[in-house]
Amino acid sequence: MSSQSSQGGGKIRVSVQKAGPLDTGEIAQTMKTIKTKFAIMSGKGGVGKSFVTASLALGFAMRGYRVGILDADVYGPTIPKLLGLVGANLYLSEDEKIIPAEGPFGIKVVSMDFLLPTDDTAVIWRGGPLVDRAIKDFLGNVRWGGELDALFIDLPPGTGDAPLTIAQALANEMTGSIIVTAPSDVSKRIVQKAIDFSRKVKIPITGVIENMCCFYCPESGKTYYIFGKLIGKEMADKYGVPYLGMIPPLDPRIGESNDLGEPFLMKYSTSDTARAILSIVDTIIAMYRDRLEAKVEAPPAKKQIKSLLRLPGEEEENQEES
């Protein structure tokens, strides 16, 4: 996977993996060290899917679990911003494996955002082959630093190339899909499509999270259900899937935290919104406690030796130092 852009006359090239097909055995080998794998998906954009992904990962980490996030939203990666990791780098180990960036509570993060030279650089790729390749690189060529209890995969909206690649590459490996929705009539149809997609590609459905369920006023402490109440639960019940709970991110402090790159769950850990998120986290943990407490054999971590994002001439200089 490679990407190239111009900035001030100089070229910055990003290279993650050599050309050629990636052996699916590498993906299987990488996944062996991860106890649970959750795909966070939605049928449409704008429902706060990435916020939910970051919050679930933080919640698991705050409960003492070892957590990773794969930001598979190649065209619109936002996880680094939500975790305060903008400007972080990925590295390569001695055996050419990707070393993730490390966020709060030791959360390991891999994202296309780390491979872009500037915050406003667009990923302009036509069709699915490059997206397919990038995601398979992230799935099979990452050294997560040992055993992970949970990997959260933040998928782009819809049911296109990226979700399909994840489903095919991790056939029989996925623990479950977590479907994020918002309380609206439009979202009802979207939930139906996401559930149908999960069933067709044989990913078990962990459950539905109703995001943006209401407006929480920090001054009065009152909650207002602006769009309707428990629409997500109605949809979950209709299609026979678990309802994990609702989050009221129409809380002005969430936007403030996101803009500053300060994880909301850490900054406002005692708020009603944080308690709602942690309640969902505890529900998921209870569902998969046996897997989370299981033992797996993890290969020893390799020393990181070089950055994936290099300016011209940096590679030779780093090699001389090593």
Asked, for residue 315, whether it belongs to a domain, the answer is: no
Asked, for residue 193, whether it belongs to a domain, the answer is: yes
pLDDT at 253: 81
pLDDT at 241: 94
Asked, for residue 268, whether it belongs to a domain, the answer is: yes
- Identity (one letter) of the amino acid at 272? D
Asked, for residue 250, whether it belongs to a domain, the answer is: yes
DSSP character at residue 71: E
Asked, for residue 104, whether it belongs to a domain, the answer is: yes
Dist. CA 144–CA 64, nearest whole Å: 17
Asked, for residue 241, whether it belongs to a domain, the answer is: yes
Per the structure block, which two tokens stand in for 255?
Answer: 């936007």
DSSP character at residue 13: E
**Phi, psi torsion values for 132, nearest 5 degrees:** -60, -45
CATH number at residue 241: 3.40.50.300
Pairing of the two strands 67-71 and 148-154: parallel
Q: pTM for the complete prediction?
A: 0.79
Give 310's strand partners: 13
Dist. CA 209–CA 40, nearest whole Å: 10
The boundaries of the domain holding residue 171 are: 12-295
Asked, for residue 1, whether it belongs to a domain, the answer is: no
- State the chain's maximal CA–CA distance in angstroms: 62
Q: What is the pLDDT along the chain (322 residues), one digit of tens a residue?
A: 444 333 333 332 344 444 345 456 778 778 888 999 999 988 666 678 889 999 999 999 999 999 999 998 776 678 988 998 988 888 888 878 888 999 999 999 998 878 765 454 444 444 556 666 777 778 888 888 778 999 999 987 766 666 777 777 777 789 999 998 877 666 677 778 888 888 888 899 999 998 876 776 777 877 777 766 677 888 889 889 999 998 875 677 887 887 787 888 888 888 888 999 999 999 999 999 999 988 766 555 444 444 454 433 444 444 444 4
Number of structural domains (the chain) is 1
- Work out the burial of residue 112: count CB atoms within 10 Å of its CB; fewer than 13 is exposed, 13-18 middle, 19 or more buried: buried
Contact 16, 2 (CB under 8 A): yes
pLDDT at 15: 41
Rounded alpha-carbon distances, angstroms, from residue 70 to 44, 108, 150, 166, 273: 19, 9, 11, 11, 24
Give the burial string for 147-175 (b: 16+ CB within 10 Å, else e): bbbbbbbbbbbbbebbbbbbbebbeebbb
